[in-house]
Amino acid sequence: MFKDFLDFFTLTGFPEITWQMPVMWVVCLVLFYLAVYKGFEPLLLVPIAFGALLANLPAPALTTEPPGPVLSTMSGSVVEWHVAPGAMVEEGDLLATLQSSDPEKPELIEYRAPSHGQITELAVMPGESLQVGQKLATIFSREPGGLFYYISRGIEWEIFPPLIFLGVGALTDFGPLLARPVTLLLGAAAQLGVAMTFLAASFMGFSSGESASIAIIGGADGPTAIFLSAKLAPHLLPAIAVAAYSYMALVPMIQPPIMRALTTMPERLIRMKSLRKVSKLEKLVFALLVTVFCILLVPAAASLIGMLMLGNFFRECGVTDRLVKASQNEIINVITIFLGTSVGITMTGERFLKPETLMILSLGVVAFSVSTASGVIMAKILNLFLPEKINPLIGSAGVSAVPMAARVSQVEGQRADPTNFLLMHAMGPNVAGVIGTAVIAGYYIATLK
Amino acid sequence: MFKDFLDFFTLTGFPEITWQMPVMWVVCLVLFYLAVYKGFEPLLLVPIAFGALLANLPAPALTTEPPGPVLSTMSGSVVEWHVAPGAMVEEGDLLATLQSSDPEKPELIEYRAPSHGQITELAVMPGESLQVGQKLATIFSREPGGLFYYISRGIEWEIFPPLIFLGVGALTDFGPLLARPVTLLLGAAAQLGVAMTFLAASFMGFSSGESASIAIIGGADGPTAIFLSAKLAPHLLPAIAVAAYSYMALVPMIQPPIMRALTTMPERLIRMKSLRKVSKLEKLVFALLVTVFCILLVPAAASLIGMLMLGNFFRECGVTDRLVKASQNEIINVITIFLGTSVGITMTGERFLKPETLMILSLGVVAFSVSTASGVIMAKILNLFLPEKINPLIGSAGVSAVPMAARVSQVEGQRADPTNFLLMHAMGPNVAGVIGTAVIAGYYIATLK
Amino acid sequence: MFKDFLDFFTLTGFPEITWQMPVMWVVCLVLFYLAVYKGFEPLLLVPIAFGALLANLPAPALTTEPPGPVLSTMSGSVVEWHVAPGAMVEEGDLLATLQSSDPEKPELIEYRAPSHGQITELAVMPGESLQVGQKLATIFSREPGGLFYYISRGIEWEIFPPLIFLGVGALTDFGPLLARPVTLLLGAAAQLGVAMTFLAASFMGFSSGESASIAIIGGADGPTAIFLSAKLAPHLLPAIAVAAYSYMALVPMIQPPIMRALTTMPERLIRMKSLRKVSKLEKLVFALLVTVFCILLVPAAASLIGMLMLGNFFRECGVTDRLVKASQNEIINVITIFLGTSVGITMTGERFLKPETLMILSLGVVAFSVSTASGVIMAKILNLFLPEKINPLIGSAGVSAVPMAARVSQVEGQRADPTNFLLMHAMGPNVAGVIGTAVIAGYYIATLK
Amino acid sequence: MNFLLPLATESVAGHIGFLTNLRYQTVGVMIVMTSLCVLAVLVTVVAKGLSFFPTAKKSPAPAPEAPVAVTKDGISPEIRAVIAAAIHVSLKSPHRILHVQSVQNPQLHAWSVEGRRQIFQSHTFR
Amino acid sequence: MNFLLPLATESVAGHIGFLTNLRYQTVGVMIVMTSLCVLAVLVTVVAKGLSFFPTAKKSPAPAPEAPVAVTKDGISPEIRAVIAAAIHVSLKSPHRILHVQSVQNPQLHAWSVEGRRQIFQSHTFR
Amino acid sequence: MNFLLPLATESVAGHIGFLTNLRYQTVGVMIVMTSLCVLAVLVTVVAKGLSFFPTAKKSPAPAPEAPVAVTKDGISPEIRAVIAAAIHVSLKSPHRILHVQSVQNPQLHAWSVEGRRQIFQSHTFR
Ligand code: NA
Ligand code: NA
Ligand code: NA
Structure confidence by residue, pLDDT tens digits, A320-350? 999 999 999 999 999 999 999 999 999 999 8
Query: What span, in angstroms and rounded, lies between the C-alpha atoms of A440 and A298?
Result: 9
Tens-digit pLDDT profile for residues C356-386: 999 999 999 889 999 999 999 999 999 999 9
Residues C226 and C237: beta-carbon distance below 8 Å: yes
- Considering every ligand atom shown, identify the ligand nearest to the alpha carbon of residue C368 and give its number: 3
Burial group, residue D5, by CB count within 10 angstroms (0-12, 13-18, 19+): exposed
Q: What angle do CA A154, B238, B95 make, to 5 degrees?
A: 65
Whether E119 contacts chain D with CB within 8 A: no
Distance D70 CA to ligand 1 centre (A): 52
Q: Given pLDDT bands bounded at 50, 70 and 90, which one contains residue F53?
A: low
Cβ within 8 Å, pair B435-D123: no
pLDDT tens for A385-409 read 998 899 999 999 998 888 889 999 9
Q: Does residue D67 surpass a pLDDT of 70?
A: no
Residues of A with CB under 8 A from a CB of B: 71, 131-135, 156-159, 162, 166, 231, 284, 288, 291-292, 295-300, 302-303, 306-307, 310, 313-314, 317-320, 322-323, 325-327, 330-331, 443, 446-447, 449
C-alpha–C-alpha distance, residues C367 and C281, integer Å: 36
> CA–CA separation, C116 vs D53, rounded Å?
49
Pair type for strands A117-122 and A135-140: antiparallel
pLDDT at C53 over 60: yes
Least confident window among C18-32, C195-209, D91-105: D91-105
3-state secondary structure of B141: coil
> Does F123 score more than 90 pLDDT?
no
Cis status of the peptide bond prior to A256, with omega within 30 of 0: no
- Which stretches within chain F are classed as H helix? 4-12, 18-52, 65-70, 77-91, 106-122
Cβ of residue A333 closer than 8 Å to a chain D Cβ? no
pLDDT at B46: 95
Mean pLDDT over F76-91 rounds to: 42
Task: Give the integer Cα–Cα distance in Å for A159 and A147.
Answer: 17
- Asked if C280 and E58 come within 8 Å (Cβ–Cβ), the reply is yes
Contact A74, A136 (CB under 8 A): no
* % chain E with pLDDT above 70: 29
DSSP three-state, residue C196: helix
Q: Which residues of B touch D115 (CB under 8 A)?
A: 403, 423-424
Beta strands at A94-100 and A76-81: parallel, antiparallel or unpaired: antiparallel
SS3 state of residue A249:
helix
pLDDT of residue D103: 31
Model confidence at D10: pLDDT above 60:
no
pLDDT band at B196; cut points 50, 70, 90: very high
- In whole angstroms, what is the distance from residue B180 CA to residue B178 CA? 5
Out of C420-429, C435-444, F84-93, which region has the weakest mean confidence (pLDDT)? F84-93
Name the nearest CA neighbour of A142 among C98, C233, C100.
C233
Rounded CA-CA distance F84/F97 in Å is: 7
Residues with Cβ within 8 Å of B353's Cβ and at least 6 positions away in sequence, in order, are: B20, B23, B24
ipTM computed for the complex: 0.83
Q: Which amino acid is at A160?
A: F
User: What's the mean pLDDT in E69-79?
Assistant: 38
Q: Per-residue pLDDT averaged across C311-328, rounded?
A: 95
**Residue A325: which of D92, D125, D126 has the nearest Cβ?**
D92
The DSSP element (H or E) to which C356 belongs, if any, is helix C355-385
| pLDDT given at position A11 | 86
pLDDT band at A24 (very low <50, low <70, confident <90, very high): very high
pTM for this entry: 0.86
- Give the mean pLDDT of chain A: 92
- How many angstroms separate the CA of residue E95 from the nearest CA in chain D? 5
Ligand nearest, relative to CA of residue C404: 3
Q: Which residue has the higher pLDDT, B399 or A104?
A: B399
User: Between residues 62 and 101 of chain E, which touch chain F (CB distance below 8 Å)?
Assistant: 62-64, 66-68, 70-72, 76, 79, 82-83, 86-87, 90-91, 100
- Residue C317 clears pLDDT 60, i.e. is over it: yes
Query: Which of these, B141, B162, B163, lies nearest to B65 by C-alpha position?
Result: B141
Distance, in Å, from the CA atom of B389 to the CA atom of B121, rounded to the nearest integer, reads 72
Using the Cα atoms of residue F47, residue F49, residue F53 and residue F57 in order, give the sign of their dihedral.
negative
In the predicted model, is pLDDT for residue B394 greater than 80? Answer: yes
What are phi and psi for residue D102, nearest 5 degrees?
-105, 155
Average the pLDDT over A59-84 and give the result.
90
pLDDT the model gives residue C403: 82
Query: Is the predicted pLDDT of residue E77 greater than 50, yes or no?
Result: no
Comparing C132-141, C178-187, C428-437, D91-100, the range with the smallest average pLDDT is: D91-100
Of B181, B208, B424, the CB nearest to D10: B208
Quick check: C143 pLDDT over 80? Answer: yes
Q: Show residues of chain B in contact with C150, CB under 8 Å.
A: 157, 159
- pLDDT for C102 beyond 90: no
Asked if residue B104 has pLDDT above 80, the reply is no
**Does the structure show a pLDDT above 70 at E91?**
no
Q: For the sheet containing A94-100, what is the strand order?
A: A108-112, A94-100, A76-81, A129-130
How far is it, in rounded angstroms, from Cα B376 to Cα B357? Answer: 29
Residue C418 CB contacts under 8 Å (≥ 6 apart), including other chains? none
How confident is residue C1, by pLDDT bands cut at 50, 70 and 90? low
pLDDT at B265 over 70: yes
Which range is most confident: A133-137, C161-165, C398-402? C161-165
Per-residue confidence at B395, pLDDT binned at 50, 70, 90? very high
Nearest-by-CA chain D residue for F76: D78
Q: Burial-class residue A1 by CB neighbours within 10 Å (0-12, 13-18, 19+).
A: exposed
Q: Is C172 helix (H, G, I), strand (E, B) or coil?
A: coil
The number of the ligand nearest the C-alpha atom of B225 reads: 2
Strands A76-81 and C129-130: unpaired
For ligand 2, the distance from its centroid to the CA atom of residue B321, given in whole angstroms, is: 28
Q: Which pLDDT tens digit goes with each residue over B330-372? A: 999 999 999 999 999 999 998 899 999 999 999 998 899 999 9
Residue A180 clears pLDDT 60, i.e. is over it: yes
Is residue E92 within 8 A of residue D113, CB to CB? The reply is: no
Q: pLDDT tens digits for B293-315? A: 999 999 999 999 999 999 999 99
C110: left (phi over 0), alpha (psi -120 to 50) or beta: beta
Would you call C318 helix, strand, or coil by DSSP? coil
Rounded Cα distance, F34 and B328, in Å:
46
Instruction: Report the DSSP beta bridge partners of residue B71.
Output: B135
DSSP class of residue E63 equals T
Evaluate if residue B387 carries a pLDDT over 60: yes
For residue A37, the chain E residues in CB contact (below 8 A) are: 58
In the predicted structure, residue B397 carries a pLDDT above the cut 80: yes
Tell me: the pLDDT tens digits for F57-81? 443 333 333 333 233 333 444 444 4
Q: Which residues of C touch B157 (CB under 8 A)?
A: 66, 144-145, 150
The residue count of chain A comes to: 449
As a whole number, mean pLDDT of residues C78-98 equals: 91
Q: What is the mean pLDDT of chain E?
A: 53
Which residue, A180, A384, A184, is CA-closest to F32? Answer: A184
Amino acid making up residue C170: A
Which among B7, B11, B37 has the least Cβ separation from residue F2?
B7
> With an 8 Å Cβ cutoff, are D10 and B281 in contact?
no
Contact B4 F3 (CB under 8 A): yes
Long-range contact set of residues A149-153: C-beta below 8 Å, sequence gap at least 24: A149/A63, A149/A64, A149/A65, A149/A66, A150/C157, A150/C159, A151/A338, A151/A341, A151/A342, A151/A345, A151/C159, A152/A63, A152/A342, A152/A345, A152/A346
- Backbone phi and psi for residue C79, each to the nearest 5 degrees, phi listed first: -90, -45
Whether F33 has a pLDDT exceeding 80, the answer reads yes
Neighbours of chain A (3+ CB pairs under 8 A): B, C, D, E, F
State mean pLDDT over C126-147: 90
Main-chain dihedrals φ then ψ at residue C263, nearest 5 degrees = -125, 150
- Please, which chains are in contact with F (at least 3 CB pairs closer than 8 A)? A, B, C, D, E
Written as one letter, the residue type at C271 is: R
CB atoms under 10 Å from CB of B200, counted, come to 19
Test the D interface: residue of B104, B174, B182, B208 with most D CBs within 10 Å: B208
Residues from chain D that touch A325, judged by Cβ atoms under 8 A, are 91-93
